Amino acid sequence: MTRRLLLGLAMASVLVLLAACQSAEPPPAPADRVPGWAQDAVVYQIFPERFANGDPTNDPTRASLTEPSAVPPSWAPSDWTGDWYAQAGWEREMGGFYESVYDRRYGGDLQGVIDRLPYLDSLGVNALYLNPIFWSPSLHKYDGRSFHHIDPHFGPDPEGDKALIAEEDPTDPSTWHVTAADSLFFTLLEKAHARDLRVIIDGVFNHTGRQFFAFRDLAERQQDSRYADWYEVRSFDDPETPDTSEFDYAGWWGLDSMPEFAVSDDSTTLAEGPRQYIFDATARWMDPNGDGDPRDGIDGWRLDVAEEVPTGFWADWHAHVRSLNPTAYTVAEVWEDASEFLREGGFSATMNYHGFAYPVKGFLIDNTIGPSAFAEMVRTRRQNYAPAVRPALLNLIDSHDTPRLATMLVNRADTGYAQPDRFDYDWGGVVDLRQNPDYKVRAPTDVERRLQRLVALTQMTLSGMPMIYYGTAAGMWGADDPDDRKPMVWPDRSYAVEDRHPYGHDRPADAVQFRRPLFNTYQSLVSLRTEHDALRRGTTTVLAADDERDLLSYARSHDDAPALITILNRSDEAHSARIPLPDSLEAAYEPVFETPSGGAFRVQQDGTALLLELPPHAGLLLRETAP
């Protein structure tokens, strides 16, 4: 028996046991937790520092870095179009790629996002998720300096903004200024909303950076600081030992660069100081002018490391959020089943790694489970959530925290997993070059691009909110952080060939360019999803799951809207197939999408079944025609 079949049987057995243990239907979620617009959304994720540089005059400076003294005086912003692994002189002074890459800055900013809104329009997405945009010295900005101001280097007047911020009492919203960067963000909201683009931003409410105003004061004044109870301090510095520091505190995952907020005495919520500050900052971005009309504010939040914050805080925070905007969408970063956590905390949904990305990795990428195990895994994991939540689950395959989809396909493997329950999805020992120098960094082949198109077809035709990571539709590739955060590849720019390797290994010389045919694929699929109610709101019926030939077919149907049928051939071989149709789906169907374009497809019907011929690594989308 093959290893793949054994794994598939094992996974199927686990799924059966899980299904037997769970209740028939989870309790319904309150309707006000899931806004109606969520199930119609296609989300585009933007990592602002690497998306577009719309204003070179505001580029970060050496002084704005986390530790300027650790970076050579010759530091300068990096070349947007250069070979990712090539090192500038200042980087070589620091000793190598991984010693310097986190000090790179490319100058992406909010003006760049505004300038590229027409591109997002052309792709067809209708919601944006922005990684953290609040003031922070890092490139990722998960180590905030404050939560009530946009990073000054994302706006047009960094030094002027910093001077205004210095005048404030950060715990008193009445003293908060509207900086130039804040104002530009409000302009972005206005322009995005004018294009019917919703805007979701990142909230990091478990920890801060060491430059956060409260922590800076605490580090200086110790127990005499008015913020002494804001953080989980284990010990204060002893002034009787001037040559040593006893100051110790809890940091996220042990990182002293990200001190964690303290919790209440009963551990049910955050300490009162940070809790109130977060509530005030939340209101600032949800109703900027405070007039009770949230239309000038953001449309939702993605909440970082949400499970590490007490659920009592989230319940109270959600009550606050929905008092400001009843149609706000909140999505928790949770990597496993989050059904109970969502109910307790009041979230709209979760990032659906567990219910979408992991199964896709096992079937469409690695092909270590067959279509029947994939379909059952998706069904049972989705079933754990309340019906109102299911269409709002954020279906992603790659993000700023994972290798890019193209690189997952380049490195697809079926020879054993360190973490079989997640098919080694984003497992550091595999996908991080510092732990696995043999992880391939080359561009994908034509076959791998065909598989990427199958993933895109699946993402746009299953239930849930699809999310496209910036650059995925443009053809970008890259291993795990930092390689998944390369500068965006734009069609109007020319890029250096990528032929370096961080460890000097041999690799192909790969042309870096915007991949128009791949973009067209995503554009077509987004358009089809937007056009058809069945793809956004419909029920899912598995029509065929042929493990021997790696064929999967499922239908989406909704009320009187035309039904659509997806057919996937994950096999390396061409196949013929007869797919019976249940009575409810008996109708005539026409192809509306096929990949590869111009492939050797044949679609016929004998009245009660589809008769198909499919080339290898092929996908079809059929639409019910009018009688």
Does 333 have pLDDT greater than 60?
Answer: yes
Whether 278 and 249 share a structural domain = no
Is 358 within 8 Å of 538 (Cβ atoms)? Answer: no
In this predicted model, what pLDDT tens digit does every residue of 466-517 receive, in sequence order?
999 999 999 999 999 999 999 999 999 999 999 999 999 999 999 999 999 9
Instruction: Flag whether 54 is in a domain.
Output: yes
Whether 217 and 201 share a structural domain = no
Residue 348 CA to residue 331 CA, distance in Å, equals 6
Residue 554 CA to residue 374 CA, distance in Å, equals 12
Of 283, 288, 289, the C-alpha closest to 301 is 283
Residue ranges with strand state E in 261-308: 300-303
pLDDT band at 627; cut points 50, 70, 90: confident
pLDDT band at 3; cut points 50, 70, 90: very low
The predicted structure's pLDDT at residue 300? 98
Residue 300 CA to residue 330 CA, distance in Å, equals 5
Does 625 have pLDDT greater than 50?
Answer: yes
Q: What is the mean pLDDT of the chain?
A: 94
Residue 587 CA to residue 166 CA, distance in Å, equals 68
Instruction: Flag whether 89 is in a domain.
Output: no
Tally of structural domains, the chain: 4
In this predicted model, what pLDDT tens digit does every residue of 592-608 receive, in sequence order?
999 998 888 999 999 79
Residue 551 CA to residue 47 CA, distance in Å, equals 36
pLDDT band at 20; cut points 50, 70, 90: very low
Helices 213-221 and 272-286, packing angle to 10 deg: 160
Does 535 have pLDDT greater than 90?
Answer: yes
Domain boundary among 350, 368, 399: 350
Q: Are strands 575-580 and 564-569 parallel, antiparallel or unpaired?
A: unpaired
Does 65 have pLDDT greater than 60?
Answer: yes
Q: Locate tokens 């585009």: which residue?
A: 44
Task: Give the range among 31-35, 270-274, 619-623 with minimum mean pLDDT.
Answer: 31-35
In this predicted model, what pLDDT tens digit does every residue of 191-211 receive, in sequence order?
999 999 999 999 999 999 999
Domain boundary among 224, 254, 284: 254
In 3-state terms, what secondary structure has residue 56?
A: helix
Domain of residue 578, CATH code: 2.60.40.1180
Instruction: Flag whether 70 is in a domain.
Output: no
606-615: burial string, b at 16+ Cβ within 10 Å, e else: eeebbebbbb
Residue 447 identity (one-letter amino acid): V
In this predicted model, what pLDDT tens digit does every residue of 29-63 receive, in sequence order?
566 799 999 999 999 999 999 999 999 999 999 99
Query: What phi-psi label fits residue 169: left (phi over 0), alpha (psi between -120 and 50 degrees) or beta?
Result: beta
Query: What phi-psi label fits residue 124: left (phi over 0), alpha (psi between -120 and 50 degrees) or beta?
Result: left
Does 28 have pLDDT greater than 60?
Answer: no
In sequence order, the 6+-apart residues with CB closer than 8 A to the CB of 559 are: 533
Domain boundary among 301, 319, 350: 350
Is 548 within 8 Å of 520 (Cβ atoms)? Answer: no
Does 379 have pLDDT greater than 70?
Answer: yes
The predicted structure's pLDDT at residue 26? 52
pLDDT exceeding 70 applies to what percent of the chain?
Answer: 95
Whether 372 and 360 share a structural domain = yes
Whether 476 and 543 share a structural domain = no
In sequence order, the 6+-apart residues with CB closer than 8 A to the CB of 133 are: 48, 110, 141, 150, 151, 154, 185, 201, 202
CA–centroid distance for 452 within its chain: 17
Whether 315 and 380 share a structural domain = no
Residue 219 CA to residue 247 CA, distance in Å, equals 8
Q: What is the dihedral of CA 38, 268, 310, 331, to 10 degrees?
A: 0
The three-point CA angle 428-429-434 to 5° equals 85
Q: Locate tokens 């041999």: which residue?
A: 506
Does 9 have pLDDT greater than 70?
Answer: no
The pTM (predicted TM-score) of the whole model is 0.94
In 3-state terms, what secondary structure has residue 209?
A: coil
Instruction: Flag whether 392 is in a domain.
Output: yes
Is 105 within 8 Å of 59 (Cβ atoms)? Answer: yes
Instruction: Flag whether 85 is in a domain.
Output: no
Element containing residue 467 per DSSP (H, E):
strand 465-469
Whether 479 and 500 share a structural domain = yes
The predicted structure's pLDDT at residue 249? 97
In this predicted model, what pLDDT tens digit does every residue of 567-584 receive, in sequence order?
999 999 999 999 999 999
Going 160 to 162 to 168 to 171, the CA torsion angle's sign is positive
Tokens describing residue 325:
């905007």
Instruction: Flag whether 335 is in a domain.
Output: yes
In this predicted model, what pLDDT tens digit does every residue of 215-252 receive, in sequence order?
999 999 999 999 999 999 999 999 989 899 999 999 99
Whether 421 and 346 share a structural domain = no
Instruction: Flag whether 605 is in a domain.
Output: yes
Residue 50 CA to residue 102 CA, distance in Å, equals 13
Q: Locate tokens 């530009």: which residue?
A: 184
Q: Locate tokens 């995925």: which residue?
A: 472
Element containing residue 13 per DSSP (H, E):
helix 3-21
Does 7 have pLDDT greater than 50?
Answer: no
Q: Are strands 602-605 and 394-395 parallel, antiparallel or unpaired?
A: unpaired
In sequence order, the 6+-apart residues with CB closer than 8 A to the CB of 92 are: none
In this predicted model, what pLDDT tens digit does every residue of 109-129 receive, in sequence order?
999 999 999 999 999 999 999
Whether 440 and 390 share a structural domain = yes
Whether 432 and 556 share a structural domain = no
pLDDT band at 1; cut points 50, 70, 90: very low
Does 13 have pLDDT greater than 80?
Answer: no
Whether 367 and 322 share a structural domain = no
Does 164 have pLDDT greater than 90?
Answer: yes
Of 131, 168, 128, 130, the C-alpha closest to 149 is 168
Polymer length in residues for the chain: 627
Domain that holds residue 235: 213-254
In 3-state terms, what secondary structure has residue 525?
A: helix
In this predicted model, what pLDDT tens digit does every residue of 536-573 receive, in sequence order?
999 999 999 999 999 999 999 999 999 999 999 999 99
Q: What is the strand order of the sheet 349-350 is part of?
A: 349-350, 329-332, 300-303, 198-203, 127-130, 43-46, 465-469, 394-395
In sequence order, the 6+-apart residues with CB closer than 8 A to the CB of 146 are: 134, 135, 165, 170, 212, 213
Instruction: Flag whether 613 is in a domain.
Output: yes
Element containing residue 189 per DSSP (H, E):
helix 180-194
Whether 397 and 472 share a structural domain = yes
Whether 123 and 44 share a structural domain = yes
